């Protein structure tokens, strides 16, 4: 799995994980977070991925999702656990 895929899965997991798990994960990376901060825009891989996604939205390849669709999807995942 690529680091982009791993990031996406971690991000999705963190959105629905319980507080105890989120705090445990943060404890593992806390020092690194403090040192580097959240400057994703200095990561060439992240920038390339964002550029790819924007291009897909602008070209119509990806239709995107409304905020309501995103919220409903999250609610469904939470209910299914």
Statement to judge: residues 79 and 51 lie in one domain: yes
| DSSP conformation class of 41 | G
**Residue pLDDT, tens place only, 9-25:** 999 999 999 999 999 99
Statement to judge: residues 29 and 56 lie in one domain: no
| Contact (CB, 8 A) for 18 and 24 | no
What gap in Å lies between CA 81 and CA 77, rounded to an integer? 7
Domain count, the chain: 2
Q: At 80, list the tokens.
A: 């299914």
Statement to judge: residues 26 and 47 lie in one domain: no
Instruction: Please give the pLDDT value at position 37.
Output: 62
Q: Is the pTM higher than 0.75?
A: no
**Residue pLDDT, tens place only, 50-75:** 999 999 999 999 999 999 999 999 99
| Contact (CB, 8 A) for 16 and 77 | yes
**Residue pLDDT, tens place only, 42-52:** 889 999 999 99
Give residue 68's domain range: 39-81
Residues 6+ apart with CB under 8 A from 39: none
């Amino acid at each position: 799995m690529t680091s982009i895929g791993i990031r996406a899965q971690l991000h999705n997991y963190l959105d629905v994980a319980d507080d105890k798990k989120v705090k445990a994960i943060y404890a593992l990376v806390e020092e690194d977070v403090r040192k580097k901060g959240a400057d994703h825009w200095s990561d060439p891989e992240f920038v390339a991925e964002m550029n790819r996604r924007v291009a897909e939205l602008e070209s119509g390849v990806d239709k995107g999702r409304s905020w309501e669709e995103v919220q409903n999807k999250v609610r469904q995942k939470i209910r299914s656990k």
